[in-house]
Amino acid sequence: MFERVPSCPRPVDFHPKVPRLTSPKVAYPHLLRASIFDGLSPEDQTRFLETCHTHSLTAGSVLVRQGDESTGLSLIADGTVEIATVDDLGHETVLHNAGPGEVIGDIELLAEMPNLATCRCVTDTVVLIFPRSATPELVRNPTIMRNFARLAYLRMAFINRQHCRSLFMPVEVQIYATLAQLSVHGSKIVHSQAYVADMVGCSRQTVNRVLGELRNDGVVKLSKSRIEIIDRSALLARIS
């Protein structure tokens, strides 16, 4: 279970008269390449970003908690956020580690349903929160609604692949895939070998063995509580 760490403050409705030191579009220009903005006009991109509230959170802070009412969607500007869910028996499953440009909470916002997962900051993180009060303007834009549908499609495809791997693929391939997913936003994985074992659902000894083989083959570099991917192409080749 997650520690009871402080949650991100509930965002208040954005008021255009509130001064801002720096526009999100200027502060985080890389976000314009996020898939949520595909096909949007520059004016619509700016309108979306200027409607958001910027929140800075420290590592370990909870952005949203499973079961809580949705207050808006979050666009990650910087940092890494762990997405995990807990079943009725208290078993926790880490679903994904999201990074810059990824969106959290869009389904809950549009469906007007409680949060499906708890999202906790792995590192110091900056998020832009699009408030629930602005949802009517959001749904009137067919392009951004198409982008949300595409995000939902890609998530379902990811879940399908994960499920198939867990049923039919050797544990080694599952570990390769988990390492690839954890390093998609950077070569250095900030999680321990025990964390990888929990994600895969295998023993730490198995992860240690596989990592040792990858290290000997020049694919990864290991240090205390850190894993660095040196040859990502070689890692991905082991998955296919």
pLDDT band at 226 (very low <50, low <70, confident <90, very high): confident
The domain in which residue 176 lies consists of 169-239
On average, the pLDDT of the chain sits at 89
Least confident of 20-29, 59-68, 100-109, 192-201: 20-29
Residue 144 lies in a domain: yes
Instruction: Clarify whether residues 130 and 36 are in a common domain.
Output: yes
pLDDT attached to residue 240: 81
CATH number at residue 71: 2.60.120.10
How far apart CA 68 and CA 65 sit, in angstroms, is 6
pLDDT attached to residue 12: 34
- For 105-119, write each residue's pLDDT tens digit: 999 999 999 999 999
pLDDT higher at 20 or 205:
205
- Could you please report the per-residue DSSP string of 75-140? EEEES-EEEEEE-TT--EEEEEEE-TT-EESHHHHHHT---SSEEEESSSEEEEEEEGGGHHHHHT
Residue 115 lies in a domain: yes
Contact indicator for 121, 79 with CB cutoff of 8 Å? yes
Residue 10 lies in a domain: no
pLDDT attached to residue 18: 35
Instruction: Clarify whether residues 74 and 176 are in a common domain.
Output: no
Instruction: Clarify whether residues 115 and 144 are in a common domain.
Output: yes
Residue 78, strand partner residues? 126
Instruction: Clarify whether residues 154 and 207 are in a common domain.
Output: no
Instruction: Clarify whether residues 124 and 90 are in a common domain.
Output: yes
pLDDT higher at 1 or 196:
196
pTM: 0.82
Count of domains observed in the chain:
2
Instruction: Clarify whether residues 154 and 174 are in a common domain.
Output: no
Instruction: Clarify whether residues 64 and 119 are in a common domain.
Output: yes
- For 36-89, write each residue's pLDDT tens digit: 999 999 999 999 999 999 999 999 999 999 999 999 999 999 999 999 999 999
Instruction: Clarify whether residues 148 and 34 are in a common domain.
Output: yes
Instruction: Clarify whether residues 28 and 116 are in a common domain.
Output: yes
User: What φ, ψ does residue 36 adopt, rounded to 5°?
Assistant: -65, -20
Residue 9 lies in a domain: no
Instruction: Clarify whether residues 30 and 136 are in a common domain.
Output: yes
Instruction: Clarify whether residues 125 and 200 are in a common domain.
Output: no
Instruction: Clarify whether residues 198 and 155 are in a common domain.
Output: no
